[in-house]
Structure 1
Amino acid sequence: MKKQILVGTDGSAVAGIAADWAAERARDLGLQLNFVHAVPELWAFPEKALHESAIAQAKDLLKSEASRAAVRVPSLDVVTTLCSGEPAESMRTLSVDTEMVVVGTDRRPDSHGEGFGSVSFQIAVISQCAVVVVPAASTQESTGVVVGVDGSSDSDLAVECAANEAQRMRQGLTLVHAGGEAGPPSPPGSSVHGDPPEPELDGRTLLSASVAGLSGRYPGLVVHEILDHQHPPDEALLDASAHARLLVIGCKGRGGARVLVGSVAQHVLLNVQCPTLITRPPVNPAPAPDAS
């Protein structure tokens, strides 16, 4: 089966922007684009006729979006999927063995509160593949790909993904390491034997390790580094990506296996500044049964 990019559509302007972003990536990588829309189950409607009307409207929407994408990118392989149930759970089910899920953010830039009811947030948290959340269009010029670095295996995956995307988009790559909670670095000569390394030295080491080898794998890629000790990681990433073409972060960072998404990713997802890609490591297949 051909690898797909799933894109959620609900007829909104931001969903259209997300679809355009997904179409360009699918074209560049030779992937199939699958437009997905979910209609609540019959029990959620007071009358059967309303459910039938919702299904008919969903089919029209999917047909319209698929036609628009085919006109925009004639070479694109486009399919549609109509689901029954909740959008986030439908995307989670479809995301198995899928290249990527792309959705528009359903939170306005000036919204307040935690926003855990956000459908885009739910999809990013529970999907089983990489997810891109695309915000509303901005009038400001955007450039470059930004990626967060914290020394975790999630961070390593995010850097590799970001370098791939930067090369595909012909953009520069900026690696960001931040840790405002660590405070400013100690004055030169103040540390003694046995003290922990200065924050700046730790950050520089992490950044250097992340950059190492990129030039060999990605010839011509321009790489920049930002070491920020004034802000916590989430604020530093949002600041660095305010005018970026793409932000890439790992789903957990140092959060460990017990969390679905780390605290930094949570904050970023609820305050998306630019298209934001949440990477996920490949799911390990279940072990084969013992034949003995």
Structure 2
Amino acid sequence: MTRKIKTVAVVGAGYMGGGIAQVLANGGMSVVIADVSKEATQHNFERLLREAGEFEQQGLFPKGTEANVKANLRAAVTIEEAVANVDFVEEAVPEIPAIKAAVFERICSAARPDAIIGTNTSTLPVHTLVPYVTNPERFLTVHFSNPAPFIPGVELVCGEATTQDVVDAVKDMLARANRSSATVADRPGFVLNRLQYVLLKEANSIVEEGIATPEDVDTIVRSTFGFRLPFFGPFAIADMAGLDVYANCFKTFESAFGERMATPELLKSLVAAGKFGTKSGEGFSGKFEPEQLAALIAYRNKAYARMAQLLDDLGPSPIARK
């Protein structure tokens, strides 16, 4: 049976850690927070309670969230007090190895030997932090995105020693908090930031080459392929567009930009096998049954229409191009 996480400590109660604490408290976990000092902890605790009420009043949180957070969230005087006897500890202190090392030493000295320990690092590989943690089989990255109260995806990164029961327990906790999770390998940048930074790097190159302005790049991203991304990832989008089409387009890119934009080997192998995505019934996403295809197209059309309506309702962002 999956280990059940019922009690949580979040160490570092600032913008990210505080948001994580709100999410888990609203998900029914008993959550205690601790920060660099008693005063900082109390300040953040009061802020989190106030924000929960404000967000609910604004319709940003579901009804009942404020009551859940007030019932399930409390503040500790010290880190040691916070982590004692909890099932799961989430570290959310600044992305500086020396600070994390000192915090992990305090956590491990006071937490139960079997308490699961997560780090909210966004770039530091797990193996660089493992030396600071005792019983590394209970340690992994549990990477929430900013702003944590509103972004549903969480990246899980295991170390060499991390056991499957630990991963399963964390995934179960996140599901109860209405969060999606994905487990990825321990490489710099993981998946989220590796993709995000590649996009930003290419966007900078486009501006530096005089192809478009930053404002126009942002317009294209948010109103074309970025419009699809809340519903489909890059593999599903390629399957619907046609992998043979993608393979032909890569020839143009490879001719213009060389090896860095060469056709991916996985794409080549699928096309060579006649697997072109939805049009052939098989692609990156596996096989598509005929009834799935009709349902997929109906879902896609509905999703994009709803997204357009949402954007119309919200209006332009404060920094949108006039």
Q: TM-score range by the shorter chain?
A: 0.3 to 0.5
Task: Identify the structure with bigger relative contact order (alpha carbons < 8 Å, sequence gap 6+).
Answer: 1
TM-score normalised by the chain length of structure 2: 0.35
Say which structure is richer in strand: 1
TM-score, scaled relative to structure 1: 0.38
